[in-house]
Every structure is written in structure tokens, then in C-alpha cells.
Amino acid sequence: MPIRHDWTVGEIIGLLELPLLELLWQAQAVHRSANPGYRVQLASLLSVKTGGCEEDCAYCPQSMHNSSDVSGRPDLDLQVEPVLARARAAKAAGAHRFCMGWAWRDIRDGAPFEAMLQMVRGVRELGLEACVTAGMLSDAQAERLAEAGLTAYNHNLDTSPEHYERIISTRTYQERLDTLQRVRRAGIAMCCGGIIGMGESLNDRASLLQVLASLEPHPESVPINALVAVEGTPLEQQPPVDPLELVRMVATARILMPHSRVRLSAGREQLSREAQILCLQAGADSIFYGDTLLTTSNPAVEADRELLAAAGVQPRSEPGH
Ligand code: SAM
Ligand code: DTB
Ligand code: SF4
């Protein structure tokens, strides 16, 4: 199957609107041929620097523009050893990737960045993949992260270019694309996806997927989040997404980007076991593993072990992107 970067929004809407079973069939066919074996990667997530962020992302409990309260969490941004202790515990619980988040608009040089580099080195020395999400960065910072062994950098487009200005005003879509190119130029894998359930239209979902699929090569990893509507954020009143819409989004991402790791990310707590299994069948091949995301909760480790066993899915043991 040829890998395409020229999908049109019209074609993508056509996929998102297929009869569900037909869409699932097509997505499974692509997934089984591109990623045989239904292996699921387990990624553990830790918030190293929580809250007080200058950006005004409407979904985010960590923005200082929102009244959602995430204070009272100790920041670990200078504490390399406690972060590595969490990474060791995640490895012992079976995680393959350790993802670390900083609620920053951009990375600044200085002690916290030096600590970040040490954290990345330490996580890699444990034999885990390391992912960082910390906002915008410079070429020089991307190169230093690459030298430290960083596997991937997460920076989401979040939504379509058209819907974007209703969600964030303090950083442009183009700035996000520029950050992603810097990550690529430094040779770090790109983890880039978005969120559904923020009042966007079907066209917006297709348009987000169109931008992602036009990146060449495709992002190595594509997180698909369902909005966690947090009290105190401007999106607190958004109704929950229909789980089948998440299934459609995952399936369409899989068809467009056959070799990318499609991550079933935030919002899993609102999904039944059956809906999560449909997402796995539709081509999701990674989940966040551990009972917290950054500030909100995620299913318990034990529940996820049972989920994977019920689906007959193997956790992925070999390193991947
Ligand atoms: N500050 C950095 C940045 O935005 O690049 C990194 C951390 S930020 C919390 C990482 C991503 O988490 C966001 O881009 C967004 O896609 C996702 N996210 C944040 N809050 C969310 C929520 N309430 N529901 C779903 N996804 C969310
Ligand atoms: C991504 O796309 N989802 C993760 C990860 N990248 C960093 C974050 C989800 C955050 C959900 C809200 C919270 O827990 O604060
Ligand atoms: Fe939240 Fe990241 Fe936006 Fe800051 S930049 S408000 S941490 S999503």
C-alpha cells in the first residue's frame, strides 16, 4: 500500500463518514498489513512541572488564564533522582516509554533544562524510550535533547487550523509547525496529534488529520485525545464525545498514517472496555499506562492489564518509535 501525503479533506471526510463496520474493516486491513501482531506500547506519563503556564489553551487545567486549580503539586523540575525513581517504577510495572511533561510555553536555558537533559539520559540508561513535552524549543535545544538520547518530542497541533483560534490565542498554528520541524531536523521522532470534543465540526477533524498526514514523513506517533473537560477551563461545559467518534478518529488516522503509532490518549476513563477494544481493533497501538495523566486520572494499571488480556493483545516489548 503506498504511503500518501496528499490526502484531501474531502477524502478524509469520506473515511470519517463511512458506515462504521466498513471503516473498521478498512482500518484493520491497513493495520494488520503495516503493523502485524496487534502489539500495544505502554507509555507512562509524569508531570515534572505542573501548572502556571503562560499559554491560554482553552482545554488545559494548567493554564494560568484558567481558574482550574492545579496548585499544590510539587514541581520536580530540578529533581532528577525522584523523576528517575518514577521511571524505574514505571519500567517495573511494564512500561516501555516514559513521557515527561513541563507546563511551559517554551523551553528556557538554565538549571531546569540541564535537569531535563539529565532526566532524558537517565531514562534512556534504564532501557526505556524517553519522550518530552515542554512547549516550543530552539534548534540548539533540540540538538542537545537529541544528544541526550531523547526518543521523541510531543507537540500537538490540537485541532484544525480553522478551529484553532477558538482554542488558543497565545501561540499560532505556524509556530507549532515550526517547532515540529525543529524536532525533526534534530533527528528526534515527532509525536503529534490532537484532541476531539472541543466543539469542532467533522470538517475540522478531517482538516486536523489532513495536516498531520501531509507531514513528510508522517509523525512517528499520533496521540488522539478526547477532551477531559476540567472544571475551571473554558471548555468545562463541553458534552462528552460519543465513544464511537473516537473509534472513527483512530480508524481514520490508522488508514492515513499506516506506520505511525496511533496513541489512544486522554479520555480513556470515560470509555467502556468494549469501546477501548474497538479502538485497539481500529488500529490504536499505544495507551498511557498508569493511574494519572498529567493532572487528571487514567485507568488503573490493573484494569489496563485486564483490558489487554481480554483483547488478547500483547504489550509491545521491543523498542519502536
Ligand atoms: N505545555 C506543553 C505543550 O502544550 O506543548 C506540554 C504539555 S500539554 C499539557 C500536552 C498536550 O496535552 C496538549 O497539547 C493537549 O493536546 C493535551 N491536553 C492537555 N489538556 C488536555 C485535556 N484537558 N484533555 C485532553 N487533552 C489535553
Ligand atoms: C498527549 O497528547 N496527551 C497527553 C500527552 N500528550 C502529554 C496529555 C494528556 C493530558 C490530559 C489532561 C491532564 O491530565 O492534565
Ligand atoms: Fe497547557 Fe501546554 Fe497549553 Fe500550557 S502550553 S496551557 S501546559 S497545553
Look at ligand 2, atom 11, and give the residue with the nearest C-alpha: 266
pLDDT at 317: 62
Residue 40 has pLDDT above 60, yes or no: yes
Range with the poorest average pLDDT among 48-62, 63-77, 277-291: 63-77
Residue 103 CA to ligand 3 centre (angstroms): 6
Residue 315 lies in a domain: no
Q: Is the pTM of this model over 0.95?
A: yes
Q: Which ligand is nearest to the CA of 66?
A: 3
Residue 176 in any domain: the answer is yes
Q: Is 53 a catalytic residue?
A: yes
> Which one is catalytic: 176, 263, 268, 316?
263
Q: Is 223 in the pocket of ligand 2 (CB under 6 A)?
A: yes
Contacts for 292-296 with beta carbons within 8 Å, 24 or more apart?
Answer: 292/45, 292/47, 293/45, 293/228, 293/265, 293/266, 294/45, 294/47, 294/50, 294/62, 294/101, 294/103, 295/47, 295/50, 295/51, 295/61, 295/62, 295/70, 295/73, 295/230, 296/61, 296/228, 296/230, 296/266
- Does residue 2 lie in a domain region? no
Range of the domain at 71: 9-28+40-310
Give the pLDDT of residue 1: 72
Which one of the listed residues 97, 131, 171, 192 is annotated catalytic? 131
**Residue 318 counted as domain residue:** no
**CATH at 119:** 3.20.20.70
Of all protein residues, the one whose alpha carbon is nearest to atom 2 of ligand 3 is 103
Q: Compute the distance from residue 59 Cα to the ligand 3 centre, in Å.
A: 9
What is the model's pLDDT at position 83?
97
